[in-house]
């Protein structure tokens, strides 16, 4: 994996996580916050095309660390920025899911 591909993979996951947090933020309110929603969808669109490009050039089994880290990073972001309460059991659960996604993607 080249340094460029590594950088793009890292960047795309950042877009995915920020996009998801913006979506949740937008849907939290009544009425829905349209500008936040559009911002979230825009970030997810950028992630979508970057990820599509990576999939064309690399096998998914090479991209497993990025795929695997997603769940734990999204939960961390939700805890940090959206102040969602995550019990210990939730942290262990999300850790197992991240590990599992990494293992499934890697093999």
Partner 1 sequence: MVGKAGGRTALVRWFFNPYVQLAFDAILVTTAELMLKLGATASTPLTASISWLGVSALASKWTWIGIVAYLVSLACWLYVLRHIPVSIAFGLISVAQVLVPLGAWLFLGESISPRRWIGIASVLCGTVLIARTIVRRGDQ
**Site for partner 1 contains 95 (CB under 8 A):** yes
Instruction: Give the one residue of 18, 43, 63, 94 binding partner 1; rule: CB under 8 A.
Output: 94
**Site for partner 1 contains 82 (CB under 8 A):** yes
What x/- string results for residues 7 through 36 when contact with partner 1 is judged by CB under 8 A?
Answer: -x-----------xx-xx--xx---x----
Using an 8 Å Cβ cutoff, are 45 and 79 in contact?
Answer: no
Residue of 32, 13, 72 whose CA lies nearest to 24: 32
Residue of 50, 73, 49, 58 whose CA lies nearest to 105: 58
Q: 């009544």: which residue's tokens?
A: 30
96: number of Cβ within 10 Å: 12
Q: Minimum distance from CB of 35 to partner 1 (Å)? A: 15
The Cα–Cα gap between 74 and 42 comes to 17
Binding site for partner 1 (CB under 8 A): 4-5, 8, 20-21, 23-24, 27-28, 32, 37, 41, 44, 48-57, 60, 67, 70-71, 74-75, 78-79, 82, 84, 86-87, 89-90, 92-107
């Amino acid at each position: 994996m080249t340094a460029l591909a590594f950088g793009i993979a890292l960047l795309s996951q950042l877009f995915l996580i920020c996009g998801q947090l913006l979506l949740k933020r937008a849907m939290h309110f009544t009425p829905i916050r349209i500008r936040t929603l559009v911002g979230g969808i825009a970030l997810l669109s950028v992630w979508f095309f970057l990820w599509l490009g990576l999939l064309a050039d690399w096998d998914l089994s090479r991209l497993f660390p990025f795929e695997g880290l997603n769940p734990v990073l999204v939960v961390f972001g939700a805890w940090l920025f959206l102040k969602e309460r995550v019990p210990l059991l939730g942290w262990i659960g999300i850790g197992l899911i991240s590990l599992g996604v990494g293992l499934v993607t890697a093999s």
